[in-house]
Structures are given as C-alpha cells and as structure tokens.
Chains A and B, each alone.
Chain A
Amino acid sequence: LAKTTQPISMDSYEGQEVNITCSHNNIATNDYITWYQQFPSQGPRFIIQGYKTKVTNEVASLFIPADRKSSTLSLPRVSLSDTAVYYCLVGPISGGYNKLIFGAGTRLAVHP
C-alpha cells in the first residue's frame, strides 16, 4: 500500500491560493489519489480525486505529474472557512481487497 507524506501544518491568509503537496513514491499502477477535508467535530469530506495530469472541480484543483510520485492540492482564494485538516490518500478505486489509509493530514490555518 502506498504511503503518503504531507506537511504537518500550513498557514495562509484569506484570498491567497494554497497548495498542499503530498508525496507517494511507491504509488501502484491502479492507485488513485484522493483528498479529503475534515473540520473539527465532523467526519472527513471528499474534495477531489484523480489519476494523472490535472483534475478541477468547483472546490479545488489536483495536479499530478507524469511520474505520479506526488500530487498537489490547490485551493484558490481560501477563506477562513477553509481552515481544516486535509488528507491525501492513495489506493485503488474498485476491485479486490482494498483499504484507504488516512495519514496525519495537513492542518491548514487561514488567517484574516
């Protein structure tokens, strides 16, 4: 199972773009990269998922280089409400025995 490494914490200010990078050097061919967000006292919430290149939705963008050994979650123009813990997960989507492992996550603090 691919292990992920991400910064423990990050600080930003309202209106800035935030990029959180995750390393997954031993990612497997059939692994996807998924990001979750967790607010205090709530369950994690799916943000975005991708396999390669770039994925964008209404909340964030996910950049994955050709070697797929890392990925970057980009949050445009963050607000105070984006203060949360962000988890990077790597694993297959379907088929066979599978589990997603949540690491320590990155604690993002957005300041006024």
Chain B
Amino acid sequence: DTAVSQTPKYLVTQMGNDKSIKCEQNLGHDTMYWYKQDSKKFLKIMFSYNNKELIINETVPNRFSPKSPDKAHLNLHINSLELGDSAVYFCASSPETGGEQYFGPGTRLTVT
C-alpha cells in the first residue's frame, strides 16, 4: 500500500492553463506539506496544513492555492501557469508538525 500518493506523476501543459495536483496519505497523519524542487534540485517548502488548517505559507505566488478537503488529502491548484512553475512537486505528511516526513513520489510539471 502506498503511504503518500500523488496524481498525476507527469503533467505537461501550456502557459496560462490551470492545473491541479492531488495528494493523499493513508498514514493517519495530521500534517501535510507541499514542496517544490526546481532544476537545481533545491527542495523548498511551499505550504503546510495541520488538521485541514493552513499553518505554513511560504512566499509563494497567490496563483498557487492548496486545498485540504479532509485530513488525508492536500491538493495543489495552480492558476495561470508560467514557465518558471516547471519543477517537481512533492507532497509529504508527518504525524506532527516538524516530525518525520513521508514523501510522495513527486509530480513532474512541465510548462511549455
């Protein structure tokens, strides 16, 4: 059973489109995260939710909007996609804020 799953694994789209990436964890964790890893391989936290409540919101354009319908899901919606949004996006979860994080397989987003 996959602990943290993301869909889709690959996403190719054009500039200006709106897209969503879904994340689900079956670990019963309270906290979920979204990270962005760019071409230089730097992994940066974007958002963190604890029990469906936003607790970390880094300096991310407001075109990015996380949505947590329940504790097990944290989706990432991106409006008006730009070339610079091309990256690998990782979802993660942890039993508590700052605790051991379990990462999903990543979603490679390519904006053309």
Contacts and interface: CB of A to CB of B under 8 A. Distances in A.
Interface in A84-111: 85, 87, 91-102, 104-105
Contacts of A93: 96-99
Given A99-B45, A99-B58, A102-B42, A42 B106 contact: yes
Interface string A75-91: 00000000001010001
Contact of A43 (B56, B92, B97, B100): B92
Given A97-B55, A97-B56, A99-B48, A44 B98 contact: no
Contacts of A87: 43
> Binding site of A, secondary structure by majority: helix, strand, loop or mixed?
loop
A102 B99 CA distance: 14
**Which of A44, A46, A100, A104 is the most central at the interface, judged by chain B CB atoms within 10 Å of its CB?**
A100
Contact of A100 (B101, B102, B104): B101
A100 B98 contact: yes
- How many chain A residues sit at the interface, stated as a range, is 20 to 34
A5 B45 CA distance: 18
Contacts of B43: 38, 44, 87, 102
A105 to B, nearest CB: 7
A95 B97 contact: yes
Given A42-B106, A93-B98, 19 more contacts: A34-B100, A38-B43, A41-B106, A43-B4, A44-B43, A45-B103, A46-B100, A87-B43, A92-B98, A93-B97, A94-B97, A94-B99, A98-B97, A98-B98, A99-B48, A99-B58, A100-B101, A102-B44, A105-B41
